[in-house]
Structure 1
Amino acid sequence: MTLHLQKSTIQKRSSVEITGSKSEANRLLILQALYPEISINNVSNSDDSQLMQKALASKENVVDIHHAGTAMRFLTAYFSAKKDREVVLTGSQRMKERPIKILVDALKDLGADISYVENEGFPPLKIKGKILTKSKVTLKADVSSQYISALLLIGSSLENGLQLTLDGKITSVPYIKMTLSLLNEIGIENTFVENTITVKQKQTEVKPQILTVESDWSSASYFYSIVALSDLGIEVKLSSYKENSLQGDSVLAEIYKQFGVSTTFQNNSILLQKTSIVNNKTKVNLDLSNAPDIAQTISVTAFGLGLQCHLTGLHTLKIKETDRLVALQNELRKFGAEIEITNDSLTLEAHNIYQSSNNSFLEKFTESISTYNDHRMAMAFAPLALKQSFIIENADVVSKSYPDFWSDLNQIGFIFK
């Protein structure tokens, strides 16, 4: 689907209900598969969570998770410890290019029987499930938190529990803590001391309980960007959110103060308000090691406000749905941005494109924005329609994490053709 975004103005006050976090939902779905006593409310309606549910319910020998990276990592661990189950776990062409050797090696160290069907180090994987008796394993600390969480989620089901040592400086700590907090919620003992995480084997039955998934903070990021690029006094209310969130992307509330956006928590909702105009000499410097998924949104916000921006801690973005750093550089340059990237950073120079006499952001923008099969590329660029009309290719890719994105934008005032 190609979407023609018209230059838009949003309503003075609006409200949006956002689906559950796929990060939380996918962790809880694995735990529910291990412990059926758990019930889950507000499960994400994202493609990723639907694919996770379908995979867990599947009796087939081949399980295809398409573009769902979280599902690939979590299910690799889950099926490895699923006694007497043999599956081939596969995905899209891009998924077959995303490395998984680090996780596979760790699972093999625990005794797992996994082999590569095509290319060494990459999906598809042939997994012969078995009881895993070993309990100690070491991983580099700067790897994707999804590898770490995949191991932690199955830790309590292992014969002797799990002792995971992380070697070096740990990144994406909030996502690790999210996993451990969810384990705590269902009564699984764990500790995180210095660089060692221990998950105790579950000795007693999990008590029947209902857990509610908080709405997705990554999805909220696009509304933060919209408010930042809007006029003073604009308000958007989002539900359902917690002030003591487990999600790493909840740092948005603090980060977007630099972009003139305030956050007020009210009865499980957040009220975003444009409260100040940002000086165009502001320099935004952020280490996003613990929240790399909001890098695209922040980069586009900074560009839309004409600000200099330097983001670090982005090394995991190169192995996402696409190489997100290269994709950001390619697409922002279409708008005239001066942007440079390294393996783990992005630097955007301040510009004055929005200073022309007729108040046009970019008077003759004729190119369309490519999305690279990456939902976050489509959603991160959408707020620029508050400045200028443009085209987004493959716009329905948003269903991966936020199927209602375009209808929610339309509801608050965005115009599409």
Structure 2
Amino acid sequence: MNLTLQKSTIQKQSVVNITGSKSESNRLLLLQALFPNLTIENISNSDDSQLMAKALKTESVVIDIHHAGTAMRFLTAYFSIQEGREVILTGSDRMKERPIKILVEALQSLGAHIEYLENEGFPPLKIKGKKLSNNKVSLQANVSSQYISALLLIATKLENGLKLTLEGEITSVPYINMTLSLLDEIGVESSFNDNVITVKPISDIQSNKTLTVESDWSSASYYYSIVALSPVGTEIALSSYKNNSLQGDSVLVDIYEHFGVTSTFNNNTVTLIKESSILQPLSLNLQNAPDIAQTIAVTCFGLGISCNLTGLHTLKIKETDRLVALKTEIEKLGGNIDITDKSLHLHESKSIKKSVPIATYNDHRMAMAFAPLALKNDIIIEHAYVVSKSYPTFWDDLISIGFEITQ
């Protein structure tokens, strides 16, 4: 379904409650499957987390995780250690184009039994669960941190734990640290020195443990963009957020100061305030937070300023090729953008074309990143409910703060 967002002015002050982080939720769901006395609160209501939870509970042989990339990677590792169980792990047509060879080869070197059912290096996978006793593996570190996290999450259940050597430049370090921090919270010993991560095995966690998931910083990014594109004095309070977040996308706090947006923390709420109008070009390396690249590029376009974003090589293997998608849609709106396979350069622009339909490419972040432009002009978001992948109540929440949205 397409939604039309009329040119809107939002309320001067608003409050929004955002669902738990998809990244934290999916890690904790896997750990809960390994350690059933773990309780999780404020779990994400995203499609991805619901698919992950369902896949971990099902007894079916064929498990279809649709577009959920994190679930595909984490479940590949999880099912490889489920002794005596055989599953076929598959997904959408796009999922069958997303590479998984690096993770599969790492698991195979630990002793896992995994076969490709269609194309070499890609899902669907046939996995026969078994006990893995090898404990040393090397992995290319510059492709996706989810491969690394998948191995770390099952490491506790490997007979001899895990010694993981990372080769090359490490991408998305905050996501690796998030995984290690969650392991630490349930009592798992680990170390991350230079390019070697070691995780000790444990048979069980002591007593019942409850962990609360922080709200999703990627979802918060759209409100940072909204405040940046609003008049000075606009405020939005978001919950539940911590000042010392494990999530890499919490760098939004520093990045959006460039646009005159300040962040104040109080009792697990962060309040965003537009303090001033700063219209300076922006240069950023987003290697550790690639998921907010679309939001930042669209913010700059909405403000009419140029930006140079680098460190974006992982965007090509997401729900769509996000660099090509950004270029196509921003140019439809009248912008001018150059891309390589790992960077984008947006040129200054003076206006935004009215009522342009934005294609979303089955990518939740395309729909949400472009929505704030309704503060500047009418815009149409095609297949708008793709947002359910990570943030099902997004459109309702925008209406609650003053956006005018019709089907």
Q: TM-score range by the shorter chain?
A: over 0.9
1:49 maps to which residue?
A: 49
Q: SS at 2:157's partner residue? A: coil
Residues in 2 aligned to 1:326 and 1:408: alpha-carbon distance in whole angstroms: 28
2:139 is matched with 139
Choose 205-214 or 243-252, whichever is displaced more: 205-214
| Corresponding residue for residue 226 of structure 1 | 226
Q: Report what 1:156 is aligned to.
A: 156
CA–CA separation in structure 1 for the residues paired with 2:350 and 2:117? 52
SS at match of 1:102: helix
Q: CA RMSD in A?
A: 0.8
Structure-2 change in CA distance of 1:20 and 1:345 (3 Å): same
Match of 1:175 in 2: 175
Residues 355 and 377, structure 2, Cα contact 8 Å, conserved in 1: no
1:372 paired with 2:337, answer no
Once the two structures are superposed, residues 110-162 of structure 1 have per-residue CA deviations (whole angstroms, 9 ceiling, x without a partner) of 00000001111100000000000100000112120000000000001001100
Q: Which amino acid aligns with 1:71?
A: A
Shift of residue 367, structure 1, vs aligned partner: 3.2
Counterpart contact for 1:231–1:274, Cα < 8 Å: yes
Counterparts of 2:308 and 2:246, CA distance in 1 = 26
After the TM superposition, which parts of structure 1 deviate over 6 Å for at least 4 consecutive aligned residues? none
- Deviation string 1:198-242 (CA, Å, 9 cap, x unpaired) is 000115544311000000000000000000000010000000000
Corresponding residue number in structure 2 for 1:321: 319
Per-residue CA deviations over 1:311-360 (Å, capped at 9, x if unaligned) read 0000000000000000000000011111000010000011222xxxxxxx
Identity of aligned residues (%): 68
TM-score by length of 1: 0.96
1:377 alignment partner AA: M
C-alpha distance in 1 between matches for 2:190 and 2:67: 31
1:399 to 388, 393, 400: 388
DSSP-derived class of the 1:23 partner: helix
Equivalent residue, structure 2, for 1:356: none
Deviation, structure 1 residue 366: 4.5
* Pair 1:193-2:193 in alignment: yes
Letter in 1 for 2:366: M
2:405 is aligned with 1:416: yes
Q: Distance in 1 between matches of 2:194 and 2:132?
A: 25
Gaps spanning 5+ residues in structure 2: where? none
- Number of the residue aligned with 2:328: 330
Contact 2:157–2:203 (8 Å) recurs in 1: no
> Separation in 1 of the partners of 2:46 and 2:217?
14
State the Cα deviation string for residues 341-390 of structure 1 (Å, max 9, x = none): 0010000011222xxxxxxx43xx35310000000000000000000002
**Structure 2 partner of 1:120:** 120
C-alpha distance in 2, partners of 1:392/1:205?
46
Residue 24 of structure 2 corresponds to residue 24 of structure 1: yes
2:81 alignment partner AA? A
Partner-residue secondary structure (3-state), 2:197: strand
Alpha-carbon distance between aligned partners in 1 of 2:14 and 2:355, rounded to the nearest angstrom: 31
- CA offsets, 1:178-199, max 9 Å, x none? 0000000000100000000000
Structure 1 residue 305 corresponds to structure 2 residue 294: no
Contact 2:239 2:268 (C-alpha < 8 Å) held by counterparts: yes
Q: Trace 1:8-87 onto structure 2 (pairs within 5 A).
A: 8-87=8-87
Compared CA separation, residues 288 and 186, structure 1 to 2 (3 A): same
CA displacement at 1:27 relative to structure 2: 0.1
CA contact (8 A) 1:35 1:206 kept: no
Aligned partner of 1:340 among 338, 341, 347: 338
CA contact (8 A) 1:99 1:122 kept: yes
Contact kept, 8 Å, 1:186 with 1:207, in 2: the verdict is: no
CA contact (8 A) 2:98 2:317 kept: yes
Check conservation: 1:16, 1:236, Cα contact below 8 A.
yes
Partner of 1:289: 287
Find the aligned partners of 1:140 and 1:390 in 2 and give their Cα distance.
41
Give the whole-Å Cα distance in 2 for the aligned partners of 1:342 and 1:139. 25
Counterpart for residue 350 of structure 2: 352
Letter in 1 for 2:181: S
Letter in 2 for 1:61: V
Q: What is the letter of the counterpart of residue 324 of structure 1? A: R
Gapped regions of structure 1 (runs ≥ 5): 354-360
Contact in 1 for aligned 2:12/2:234 (Cα 8 Å): yes
Cα gap change, 1:224 to 1:205, in 2 (>3 Å): closer
AA matched with 2:175: Y
For 1:408, the aligned partner's letter is D
Deviations 1:237-263 (CA, angstroms, capped at 9, x unpaired): 000000000000000000000011000
Distance 1:335 1:100 in 2: 35
Q: How far did 1:58 drift?
A: 0.3
* Counterpart-to-counterpart distance in 2, 1:36 and 1:351: 54
What amino acid is aligned across from residue 310 of structure 1 in structure 2? N
Structure 1 residues 51, 203: closer, same or farther in 2, change over 3 A? Answer: closer
SS of corresponding position for 2:14 = strand
Letter in 1 for 2:346: L
Distance 1:407 1:131 in 2: 47
